[in-house]
Amino acid sequence: MEEGKGVAVTSSSSLADAPVPDNANVVEPLATDNGGSLSDDGIWLTDCDEEADEAFYLNREGKRRHEEFYNAGYRDGLSAGKNDAAQDGFNQGFKDSVMIGYKWGINRGVTSALVHIPNELKLKLVGTEEKKKEFQNLYEAVDSIGTEDALKLFYDDIQRGPEC
């Protein structure tokens, strides 16, 4: 026993068995699973809670960023797909229409040129009065179809599909 302290401490006794001075504030320790005191558990739980909170927030942030980049990638892919499909459609439509438009323009230009040249030159080019009237009728038929009407005819022809 140490002198002047008022508390006997032996190697085999616990603090709970030691006498308490009269002027001391006594707080009973809470029971714990590991036999430690409340302050030991508080420190242990605080470290664990901080690690758990950090892991929780990192996991939540990771999920949020995954979703954000997934959605951005989806939108970019959708936009690129639409552009590719539109470009493919344009390329096919251009390919289909360029020759038809070219032939239509040639037909319109030739008939218009033949109609507007002098009569004696027409007979030399065409040969007979009957052929001259055929070209005149062809010109009138072609000239009566405006650009919008020609496009509608072309569209209707495409919708019908290829003729076998």
Query: What DSSP line would sit under 46-67, residue for residue?
Result: HHHHHHHHHHHHHHHHHHHHHH
Single pTM value for the model = 0.40
Mean of the pLDDT values across residues 98-107? 85
- The span from the CA of 77 to the CA of 41, in Å, is 52
Residue 11 has pLDDT above 70, yes or no: no
Q: Which residues contact 123 (CB under 8 A, 6 or more apart)?
A: 129, 132
In which band, very low, low, confident or very high, does the pLDDT at 24 lie, cut at 50, 70 and 90? Answer: low
Residue-range domain boundaries for the chain: 31-160
- Cα–Cα nearest to 134, from 145, 126, 143: 126
Angle between the N-to-C axes of helices 38-116 and 129-144, in degrees from 0 to 180, rounded to the nearest 10: 150
Residue 99 token pair: 């020759």
- The closest alpha carbon to 122, from 136, 141, 137, 108, belongs to 136
What count of other Cβ atoms lies within 10 Å of the Cβ of residue 70?
Answer: 10
For the record, the structure tokens of 150 come out as 């020609």
6 against 96, higher pLDDT: 96
> Which residues touch 78 (CB under 8 Å, ≥6 apart)?
none
Confidence of residue 109 (pLDDT cuts 50, 70, 90): confident
Q: In this predicted structure, which of 3-7, 22-26, 72-76, 125-129 has the lowest mean pLDDT?
A: 3-7
Q: What size, in residues, is the chain? A: 164
State how far the alpha carbon of 150 is from the alpha carbons of 69, 80, 134, 144, in Å. Answer: 48, 33, 21, 10
Do 33 and 40 meet the contact criterion of CB atoms below 8 Å apart? no
pLDDT digits (tens, 9 = 90+) for 40-81: 444 554 556 677 788 888 888 889 999 998 999 989 988 888
